[in-house]
């Protein structure tokens, strides 16, 4: 893989991560999660596509189709594994004590 194809892969993976963040929303930590998972899964998909010999949608030395499929799977998996952002912000659930019993 040449430097130019690696840079193209980083740009494409970044666009995928940013688009997913635009669709799903979230804070800055979510953006970092989506970008990191897009980069890792894109290049893992490229590697697996090369090992399996997939030639569909090849751009120079870059296996684009398996890389994009892996990016979609990686982004969905990261989103499911981390869970919803609102759930973490609430903190632990605590029970409020009931009114004490009245004694005669």
Instruction: Return the domain boundaries, the chain.
Output: 3-84
Look at residues 28, 23, 14, 27 and name the one whose alpha carbon lies nearest to residue 76: 23
Entry pTM: 0.76
Instruction: Assess whether pLDDT exceeds 80 at residue 98.
Output: no
Report long-range pairs for 85-93 (Cβ below 8 Å, ≥24 apart): 85/26, 85/27, 85/30
List pLDDT tens digits, range 2-53: 899 999 999 999 999 999 999 998 889 999 999 999 999 999 999 999 999 8
List pLDDT tens digits, range 40-78: 999 999 999 999 988 888 888 899 999 999 999 999 999
């Amino acid at each position: 893989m040449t430097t130019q194809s690696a840079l193209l892969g980083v740009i494409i993976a970044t666009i995928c991560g940013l688009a997913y963040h635009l669709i799903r929303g979230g804070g800055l930590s979510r953006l970092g999660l989506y970008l990191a998972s897009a980069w890792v899964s894109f290049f893992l998909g490229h590697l697996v596509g090369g090992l399996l010999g997939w030639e569909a949608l090849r751009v120079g030395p870059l296996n684009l189709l398996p890389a994009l499929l892996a990016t979609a799977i990686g982004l969905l998996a990261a989103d499911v594994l981390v869970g919803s952002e609102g759930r973490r912000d609430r903190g632990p659930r605590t029970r409020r004590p009931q009114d004490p019993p009245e004694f005669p």
